[in-house]
Chain A
Amino acid sequence: MTRKIQFREALNEAMCEEMERDERVFLMGEEVAYYNGAYKVSQGMLERFGARRVVDTPISETGFAGLGVGAAMYGLRPIIEFMSWSFCLVAADQIINNAPKMLYMSGGQFKVPIVFRGNNGAGGQLGSTHSWAVEAMFASVPGLKMAIPSTPRDGKGLLKTAIRDDDPVFFLESERMLGFGARGDADFSRYLHDDRWAPPAAEEDKEFLIPFGQADIKKEGADCTIVALGRPVHFALEAAEQLEKEGIDCEVIDPRTIRPLDIDTIVRSVRKTNYCVVVDQSWPFASIASEIAAQVYEQALDDLDNKIIRVNNDDVPAPYARNLEQEMLPNAKKIIEAVRAVTYRA
């Protein structure tokens, strides 16, 4: 019997289990305590752990993100919640100049075990300031790690790993996915049924940790590799269902973490299928998709029977209008077209 669990509940479980396990772990951010989380990810945590460990902050990202870095240098293990990654930009100096470089600049003396987490990517008609997908912008910074889960199972396993990790982890969630799972199987692809969706509960396994740098093959297939992370994994699976009907058997690979990136699993898949489409919810220029495509070209050029196609956001600020926003984002239709084109079936 699979557990019925929403994405936000899985994240909550991860934090609660790790806070039970380690007194140094605390959660801090805007509205995480009394409000129970702007998106209810921290529901019940104030009641359970008290105001010392579940800390509401003023709207002061530079202040509390930097506080987290200092506290981590001092030996605590902060989880800093950004209501949205779109709001982290005012704290850029703290999160990309301080956190990931402290260990290096101090010659190995000060590590920074911190998790920055929050919603990433378009939330739904929020306009351009609120619709950042920050992965491409930050993934190039050495010293940080980055995880982008696509299922509650991965969310829980990766977040527990992130909290135990001794390095700064950028953990990118999606507002659009937090409620996934509320309606049970109807919410997600049939490829994710059975144990692929839900993580084990604490009673079953307190040590449910998913290591960084291990891609997950969300669907096996022989004809074309689709690489996707985070919410686009679901678009890719939707596309795969459609394409299956057309006789194209896609393999959907979810790297789950970008730093470290499990390029080996991707390359192995491309060697098998000889075709590759990369889906990415950030802008195309110097993007995650560009990077993955470049690495696949470097390692498997001879195995490719066509160029790689990238399915990115359109290269514009996120528009407000519903139709424009949907058109701008990667979606199943665009992925289907890309797969057809790359496998010469267009």
Chain B
Amino acid sequence: MTITSEPDTHTSGQPSDRLDAAALLSMLGEMLLIRRFEERCAQSYQQAKIGGFCHLYIGQEAVAVGSISALRDDDPIITAYRDHGHALARGMDPRLAMAEMFGKVTGCSKGKGGSMHLFDKEHHMYGGHAIVGGQCPLGVGIAFGIQYQQEDKVCVCYLGDGALNQGAFHEAMNLAAIWKLPILFVVENNQYSMGTHIARGTSMADDLSVKAGAYGMRYAECDGMGVLKVYDCFAKAAEQTRAGEGPCLINVETYRFKGHSMSDPQKYRTKEEVAEFEEHDCIQRLRRRLLDRHLATEEQILDLDEKAKKLALEAVKFAEESPATPVEEMFTDVYSQPFEPYRRGEAAEGFRE
């Protein structure tokens, strides 16, 4: 499987055939929102308004948007620390995501989690998790909960290609396989874990199907720069899993256009390599498709982009104007049933049940 810059060639009989112009535009809008949001994150980080580690999703937007569009709204998802895109695709208010990164009380975790730990219970987003691979057993637990309660849901657990080499990933794969749990493990294979190319750190890097094969698990792969390719792959995989066929490992080939985090001189790859992948930009690809097929006008698309820019800017404004997290919040949310000196907390306003 290789990434192409073709405007998605039409193979009929795909789940995405059923997506009308409005649905496609909405996917484009979501990708644009993530892109513009991330650009504002970068800017705010450079202005020292965002602290800590901050990992941008630019280049990978089609993965979160394509996969989440193919799920039901109440299918739980869980991911790693490069999580802004998933949160937004899931429907988190960008203002609350940005406020979290600014460390404000209005943030999704009242400023206690930060960029790498975005949670949104209402939208079934079980968090960004910052220990590489650590979210995999959690995802399996969510899938266990689904099976235990005999629900019709599928859990989607995202991971970077670096997590393929963590024990937690392999233990999670094994448990999911022996119990046929309803979970999709999604490798967002952007080829690099920080500065280590997948071929340097991962055995059988050019054929990840063997990782699934080792556990007798279904395997699928798709071109992660094509949002409809991702959509089709996930629609099929989720349907099979929902039908009781157990877990699936999905290798999504993608690329991150920016550094690993905000402080990455990127000595491990050439500018030419990055430029080549930028040619395959998921946003441009969907845009071309919409125009080529007369499903949208240039104007409509510009409008969408303006809207995305506006939302991203508003998010920054909201975050800036929000009050800092009061020091009294320090001792809340440590325990649900607290004892001295802890106190019960209340989730941020947008996140109360």
The answer to whether B346 has its CB under 8 Å from any CB of chain A is: yes
**Residue in A26, A102, A109, A213 whose CB lies within 8 Å of B339:** A213
Report the count of interface residues on A (CB-CB < 8 A): 46
The answer to whether A69 has its CB under 8 Å from any CB of chain B is: yes
- Please give, as numbers and ranges, the residues of chain B lying within 8 Å of A143 by CB-CB distance: 334-335
- Please give, as numbers and ranges, the residues of chain A lying within 8 Å of B127 by CB-CB distance: 102, 105-106, 110
The answer to whether B29 has its CB under 8 Å from any CB of chain A is: no
Inter-subunit contact A63/B172 (CB<8 Å) = yes
Inter-subunit contact B119/A71 (CB<8 Å) = no
Inter-subunit contact B131/A109 (CB<8 Å) = no
The answer to whether B108 has its CB under 8 Å from any CB of chain A is: yes
Minimum CB–CB distance for B351 against chain A, Å: 5
Inter-subunit contact A70/B138 (CB<8 Å) = yes
The answer to whether A66 has its CB under 8 Å from any CB of chain B is: yes
CA distance A143 to B347 in the complex (A): 16
The answer to whether A247 has its CB under 8 Å from any CB of chain B is: no
CA distance A189 to B110 in the complex (A): 51
CA distance A110 to B136 in the complex (A): 17
CA distance A105 to B345 in the complex (A): 12
Inter-subunit contact B119/A70 (CB<8 Å) = no
Inter-subunit contact A68/B113 (CB<8 Å) = no
Inter-subunit contact A107/B351 (CB<8 Å) = yes
Per-residue 0/1 for A158-180: is the Cβ within 8 Å of any B Cβ (1 yes, 0 no)?
Answer: 00000001110000000000000
CA distance A102 to B134 in the complex (A): 12
Inter-subunit contact B336/A166 (CB<8 Å) = yes
Inter-subunit contact A107/B142 (CB<8 Å) = no
- Please give, as numbers and ranges, the residues of chain A lying within 8 Å of B36 by CB-CB distance: none
Inter-subunit contact B347/A107 (CB<8 Å) = yes
- Please give, as numbers and ranges, the residues of chain A lying within 8 Å of B120 by CB-CB distance: 109
Per-residue 0/1 for B95-134: is the Cβ within 8 Å of any A Cβ (1 yes, 0 no)?
Answer: 0000000000001111111000101110000110101001
27 A-B pairs in the complex with CB atoms less than 8 angstroms apart? A57-B175, A64-B137, A64-B175, A65-B137, A67-B137, A68-B141, A70-B137, A70-B140, A74-B142, A74-B144, A76-B144, A76-B148, A93-B134, A94-B134, A97-B131, A104-B333, A105-B119, A105-B127, A106-B119, A107-B109, A107-B111, A107-B112, A108-B332, A108-B351, A110-B127, A167-B335, A260-B339
| B contacts, CB < 8 Å to A | 76, 78, 107-113, 117, 119-121, 126-127, 129, 131, 134, 136-146, 148-149, 167-168, 171-172, 174-175, 178, 332-337, 339-340, 345-348, 351
Sorted from nearest, which 3 A-B pairs have the closest CB atoms?
A70-B141, A66-B137, A63-B171
Q: Known contacts A67-B175, A73-B141; can you find 13 more A-B pairs with CB under 8 A? A: A66-B138, A70-B78, A70-B142, A71-B142, A74-B126, A74-B146, A106-B109, A107-B108, A107-B351, A108-B332, A108-B346, A109-B109, A166-B336
